[in-house]
Amino acid sequence: MHRTGALLRPNKEKNSELLNMEKKDDLIMGGAETNRKDEHEMEASPIPLLSPYKMGDFNLSHRVVLAPMSRLRSYEFLPQPHSILYYSQRATAGGFLIGEATIISETAKGYPCTPGIYTKEQVEAWKPIVNEVHQKGGIFFCQLWHSGRASSNIFQPNGQAPISSTDKPIASKVHIDGSTPAEFPTPRRISTEEIPQIVQDFRVAARNALEAGFDGVEIHGANGYLIDQFLKDKVNDRTDEYGGCLENRCRFPLQVVKAVADEIGADRVGVRLSPFADYNDCSDSNPEALGLHMVEGLNEYGILYCHVIEPRMITQFQAGETKHSLLPMRKAFKGTFIVAGGYSRGTGNEVIANGGADLVAFGRTFLANPDLPRRFELNSELNQYDRSTFYSQDPVIGYTDYPFLDEARY
Ligand SMILES: Cc1cc2nc3c(=O)[nH]c(=O)nc-3n(C[C@H](O)[C@H](O)[C@H](O)COP(=O)(O)O)c2cc1C
């Protein structure tokens, strides 16, 4: 799709590895250097990213989507009042927001301070957050998540082993964020008979999300978590009807999609996939075939959207060169197609203009720029994100204190 490889080579002049990482991120993101007001980038308004789009019954006023981002600030696994400000800052009339990964059950936990959607208390705690986004005219989906083996016994009921499609642990010694050390335990391979209960947990969580006021849900089938652990042949070594051939590996994920769509209506359901990624040690020998098979399965259920991570994202935060493209998936999928991973204003406009996607999800740039659509409209400078506070659990710093354009000093 985009051949941005030339921009993405590591900057060898920096001697600090950390600086090197930040530098690469900036280049990927079209950060400080590439986002300066550039006459060549001045298009007639509205630019493609800011053109309206009808996603099913939702009338979006622009195509700049808030990507789902865990912020680890939901103490005791409960959404907190400080998230009201965080999400409402990023809401716009007709803007589409996808909430952070939200656990669907006790066994779904993988990190501290992630919100849940399986208890009455959690549902009630979400309500004022969702309500505030609605007050600003935003459309808000809840991302339903089960971490599977990307967890630790300390997060599991009675200290038991995390569950997965397999009993092989994640071999990687770092978390998905690429910097924090991790020691992953040996998971417990769930039996065939246990699978319907996990499907049911997703179904109930979807119902709860609507009860909390969300407009719909995104099923997290990406980034090496439970659903991805069933999809990918490097991990899924089952011999029952949920393992082996493509059809079998997609069975559990598609059962989840069907159950959730039956529960709340397919027109309120999106799915996130990352067939080309190997985050959390989760890769596939034929990601093109996997992506296409899933998209065709999703078509059967007529779901609202498919949201896919760009193949160039070799780690969650770092792009590289790739021969792969999302275009075959884009062409095959009948609903709204959302892309994510390393997009800037320029490449986002390009992918919309050339038909590669309907919507573009922005992660780190939106995290650091609460008024991102406005900044794109004005083609103004962007705040640079601070990676050290992504997951710092502080209720304000690195969360709701990124300045708006009016407050920014340049
Ligand atoms: C702090 C942080 C937390 C993230 N948490 C999630 C998550 O909860 N669910 C998910 O699907 N992706 C998550 N991601 C990945 C983003 O949605 C996105 O795919 C990634 O940041 C690449 O997009 P970007 O280059 O625009 O940042 C997270 C990313 C960041 C920076």
Q: In this predicted structure, what is the pLDDT of residue 362?
A: 98
**Atom nearest to 101 CA in ligand 1:** 8
Nearest CA to ligand 1 atom 6: 69
Nearest CA to ligand 1 atom 16: 363
Q: Write the pLDDT tens digit of every residue in 63-101.
A: 999 999 999 999 999 999 999 999 999 999 999 999 999
Cβ atoms within 10 Å of 74's Cβ, excluding its own? 24
Nearest CA to ligand 1 atom 25: 342
Q: In this predicted structure, what is the pLDDT of residue 307?
A: 98
Select the more confidently predicted residue: 284 or 314.
284
Q: In this predicted structure, what is the pLDDT of residue 43?
A: 47
Backbone angles phi, psi at 142, to 5 degrees: -100, 130
| Residue at 405: amino acid letter | L
Nearest CA to ligand 1 atom 28: 69
**Beta carbons of 372 and 30 less than 8 angstroms apart:** no
The rounded distance, in Å, linking the Cα atoms of 270 and 190 is: 26
Cβ partners under 8 Å of residue 122, min gap 6: 77, 78, 79, 115, 116, 208
Q: Write the pLDDT tens digit of every residue in 177-218.
A: 777 778 899 999 999 999 999 999 999 999 999 999 999 999
Mean pLDDT of 48-66: 98
Element (H, E) at 375: helix 372-378
**Beta carbons of 333 and 321 less than 8 angstroms apart:** no
Distance 71 CA to ligand 1 centre (A): 10
Q: In this predicted structure, what is the pLDDT of residue 100?
A: 98
Task: Determine the 3-state secondary structure of 188 from DSSP.
Answer: strand
Distance 367 CA to ligand 1 centre (A): 9
**Beta carbons of 165 and 230 less than 8 angstroms apart:** yes
The tokens describing 254, both together, are 């598609």
Mark out the alpha helices in 53-138 (DSSP H runs). 82-89, 120-135
Q: In this predicted structure, what is the pLDDT of residue 176?
A: 76
Q: In this predicted structure, what is the pLDDT of residue 408?
A: 63
225 is annotated as an active-site residue: yes
Q: Which residues pair with 181 in a beta bridge?
A: 174
Nearest to 95 by CA among 382, 385, 372: 372
Average model confidence (pLDDT) across the chain: 89
**Atom nearest to 390 CA in ligand 1:** 1
Nearest to 380 by CA among 406, 342, 349, 351: 406
DSSP state letter for 320: -
If one residue of 313, 316, 345 were mutated to test the ligand 1 pocket, choosing by the most ligand atoms within 8 A of its CB, it would be 316
Nearest CA to ligand 1 atom 5: 69
**Beta carbons of 212 and 205 less than 8 angstroms apart:** no
Q: In this predicted structure, what is the pLDDT of residue 13?
A: 28
Q: In this predicted structure, what is the pLDDT of residue 45?
A: 59
Measured CA to CA in angstroms, residue 50 lies from 36, 65, 137, 370, 376 at distances of 19, 11, 16, 16, 8
Looking at 87, 118, 225, 279, which residue is catalytic?
Answer: 225
**Beta carbons of 361 and 340 less than 8 angstroms apart:** yes
Q: Which residues pair with 331 in a beta bridge?
A: none
Nearest to 403 by CA among 372, 362, 364: 372
Cβ partners under 8 Å of residue 120, min gap 6: none
Q: Write the pLDDT tens digit of every residue in 298-357.
A: 999 999 999 999 999 988 888 888 999 999 999 999 999 999 999 999 999 999 999 999
Distance 192 CA to ligand 1 centre (A): 31
Distance 407 CA to ligand 1 centre (A): 26
Residues with CB under 6 A from ligand 1: 67-70, 100-101, 143, 220, 222-223, 272, 309, 316, 340-343, 362-365, 390
Q: In this predicted structure, what is the pLDDT of residue 28?
A: 35
Q: Write the pLDDT tens digit of every residue in 15-32.
A: 232 223 333 343 333 333
Q: Write the pLDDT tens digit of every residue in 98-148.
A: 999 999 999 999 999 999 999 999 999 999 999 999 999 999 999 999 999
Distance 69 CA to ligand 1 centre (A): 5
The rounded distance, in Å, linking the Cα atoms of 137 and 91 is: 7
